[in-house]
Each structure stands twice: as structure tokens, then as C-alpha cells.
Amino acid sequence: MNESGERLVTVRSHARPEETGPALRELARIAAARGVTLLLDDEEARKHKLDGSEPGIRLEEPLRRDVDLCVALGGDGTILRCLRDYAGSPVAVFGVNFGEVGFLSTVEPAGMHEGFELALAGNLELLHLPAIEVRAPGASWPALNDVALHRKVGGRVAELAYAVAGEEVSSVRCDGLVIATPAGSTGYNLANGGPVLAWGVKGMVVSFIAPHSLSARALVISPSDLLTVHNRSREPLDLTVDGRPVAELAVDEAIQARFVDGVATLAQMVGSSFYLRLRQKFGRLAR
């Protein structure tokens, strides 16, 4: 509850309102009954064709950091966007899966009614997620999922040397590498054959994209150790953070990556288990 005594919840959704519209209406109905106001920005209002007459909804609201909760209706990309919006604040993000995998979500659409009731009652468990602080020459970014360096389309094979705590570990010819948090280890890192890090593990994992070596292996790095990656390629490389292009790493330049704990907060249903979620999400895709 904020200083005015209002109970406020931000809502964000993905780009397909025909899928998320019924969920938004159900959430608004429950919110109105509980005296909670949903805050939607201009983009959400246009997307869902809202005119401001809907009970329990306030439109044209900029991002506020004094809300009680953020509800994300979408896939992992939508949930990540919300987690970035509220990084560094106590606001938790509650995700309903309208994506493909939805590993960060805690409720499927079939269970959204119960989920909304519990969420607006404050009956949730909170998981504090770490991030990777990545620094390149002249800039830095927080990554809640992963950081990727990769060769440009049609470019030469990359050569990347990496060091941990000041000690060079290896130099690998590859298409690129991924540095992932535990939450991000089930994404790009897993596709590269890297290990899954359970939520709650402190550390980050480095895995290689199409390595030209039989000895290149993924490495889990201690949370206290600084990782440095040098571009020893003949060409610049693209740097992405949580799937978004952010910079170009020139030849002979380097990035540094450091584990930072407790950056964002994910809301979960009480009793939610990482290992059950792992089986349900990836076991389902394997069938």
C-alpha cells in the first residue's frame, strides 16, 4: 500500500491482446471486488481498446514504483521486461504464462482465477533474483537472464579469451558465448549444452555457442569472482543483454561480468518448486 493508502497493481501484457484480454478482464473484476486499482499505461490502453470506464482500472498511468505488485500477462520476455522495470525496488512481478515456455511464470491461464485471488490477497512467496552486471568500454547494463557475445551474421568465426579472477582460463574459437544467471540458465545457456543452475544458487555460468573445439566446456563461476572476456577476433562482435542488442565489442576490447545478488523480485504461488517447474516446462516440450 502506498502513502495515499491506495492498493495499486501495475499490469503489463504481451503483443497479442486477443489472448490476454480475458485475463485482464478477470483480473479487473477481482481487483474491483477487493478495492485494488489496476494501473495501465497508454500502450496497454490502446492495445486492449480501453476507454477509462472499466471498474478497477486507471488508464494513462506512467510507470510507478510505489505499487503493491506488477502482474505480467505474457511469456518470459514480458516478465523480464517487468522485472527490469522494477529492478532495485521491492515490487514483485507475478507472471501468468501466455508464451511458449513461460519458465518465469507461476500460473498457467487455466489457473489464473485462483492465482489472481491469492496474488491480490498478498498470499504469495517472493523469490529474490540476482543479475549480472556487465561492463563494456564506456557503458554498463544489468542482465537478469543472460549476456551474449556473438559473431556478426556472415562474419568470421570469433576467438574469445576469458579470465576469471584475473587468471586466463582459455581461448576458444566459436560463434560466441553466453553468460547466464541461474534464472537465465534454462534459456540460451541450456540450448548451448550448458548446465541448469537451480534458483537460489549463487553464481553464473559461461557456455559457448558452436565451439570449434572438443575441449570447450561450460564453467560455473563463483559469485565473488570477476569474469573478463576479450575479443581476440578479427572483427567486432555483437553484445546482447537479455536478448536485446546493446553494443558492439571492437577487436581487442573486453567486457567484464560480475554477479549481483537480490536485484529483482519474482512472486510465486506458495509451495512452488523450481524442480517441479523444470519437469513441467521442459518435460512437456519433450513429449
CATH number for the domain harbouring residue 191: 2.60.200.30
Question: For 63-74, what is each residue's pLDDT tens digit?
Answer: 899 999 999 999
**95 neighbors 84 (Cβ within 8 angstroms):** no
Domain annotation covers residue 72: yes
73 against 286, higher pLDDT: 73
User: Does one domain contain both 240 and 149?
Assistant: yes
| Largest interatomic CA distance in the chain | 62
Kind and range of the H or E element at 23?
A: helix 17-34
Mean pLDDT of the chain: 93
Average pLDDT over residues 3-21: 91
Cell 579472477 sits at which residue?
Answer: 165
User: Does one domain contain both 119 and 135?
Assistant: no
Cell numbers placing 235: 572483427
**126 neighbors 265 (Cβ within 8 angstroms):** yes
User: Does one domain contain both 115 and 144?
Assistant: no
100 against 266, higher pLDDT: 266
User: Does one domain contain both 18 and 84?
Assistant: yes
Q: How far apart are CA 177 and CA 205, in angstroms?
A: 10
User: Does one domain contain both 116 and 144?
Assistant: no
Cβ–Cβ contacts within 10 Å for residue 60, how many? 12
Cβ–Cβ contacts within 10 Å for residue 170, how many? 15
User: Does one domain contain both 139 and 245?
Assistant: yes
Tell whether the model's pLDDT for residue 276 goes beyond 90. Answer: no
Domain residues for the domain of 241 are 131-261
Question: For 240-257, what is each residue's pLDDT tens digit?
Answer: 999 999 999 999 999 999
Model pLDDT, residue 285: 47
Active site residues: 76
Question: For 159-187, what is each residue's pLDDT tens digit?
Answer: 999 999 999 999 999 999 999 999 999 99
CATH number for the domain harbouring residue 276: 3.40.50.10330
User: Does one domain contain both 244 and 155?
Assistant: yes
Model pLDDT, residue 287: 46
Q: How far apart are CA 284 and CA 263, in angstroms?
A: 30
Average pLDDT over residues 271-275: 83
Average pLDDT over residues 116-145: 96
Select from 158, 161, 115 the least CA-distant residue to 255. Answer: 161
Question: For 188-223, what is each residue's pLDDT tens digit?
Answer: 999 999 999 999 999 999 999 999 988 899 999 999
Domain count, the chain: 2
Radius of gyration for the chain, computed over Cα atoms and rounded to the nearest angstrom: 20
User: Does one domain contain both 160 and 250?
Assistant: yes
**Backbone angle region of 193, left / alpha / beta, with phi > 0 → left and psi within -120 to 50 → alpha:** left
Q: How far apart are CA 67 and CA 281, in angstroms?
A: 30
Model pLDDT, residue 284: 54
User: Does one domain contain both 149 and 249?
Assistant: yes
Model pLDDT, residue 184: 95
Select from 256, 209, 254 the least CA-distant residue to 232. Answer: 254
Domain annotation covers residue 246: yes
**218 neighbors 189 (Cβ within 8 angstroms):** yes
Provide the CA 24 distance to its chain's centre, in angstroms: 22
Task: Please calculate the CA angle 277-281-283 and round it to the nearest 5 degrees.
Answer: 105
Instruction: Please report how many Cα atoms fall inside a 13 Å half-sphere around the Cα of residue 102, on the Cβ side.
Output: 20
Tell whether the model's pLDDT for residue 286 goes beyond 50. Answer: no
Q: How is residue 56 annotated by DSSP?
A: T
Average pLDDT over residues 7-27: 96
Tell whether the model's pLDDT for residue 20 goes beyond 60. Answer: yes
Model pLDDT, residue 174: 97
Q: pLDDT category, 2, cuts 50, 70, 90?
A: low
Domain annotation covers residue 249: yes
Helix, coil or strand: residue 242: coil
Model pLDDT, residue 139: 97
Q: pLDDT category, 92, cuts 50, 70, 90?
A: very high
User: Does one domain contain both 148 and 174?
Assistant: yes
Cell numbers placing 24: 485482464
Domain annotation covers residue 1: no
Alpha helix stretches (DSSP H) within 70-198: 76-85, 112-120, 188-191
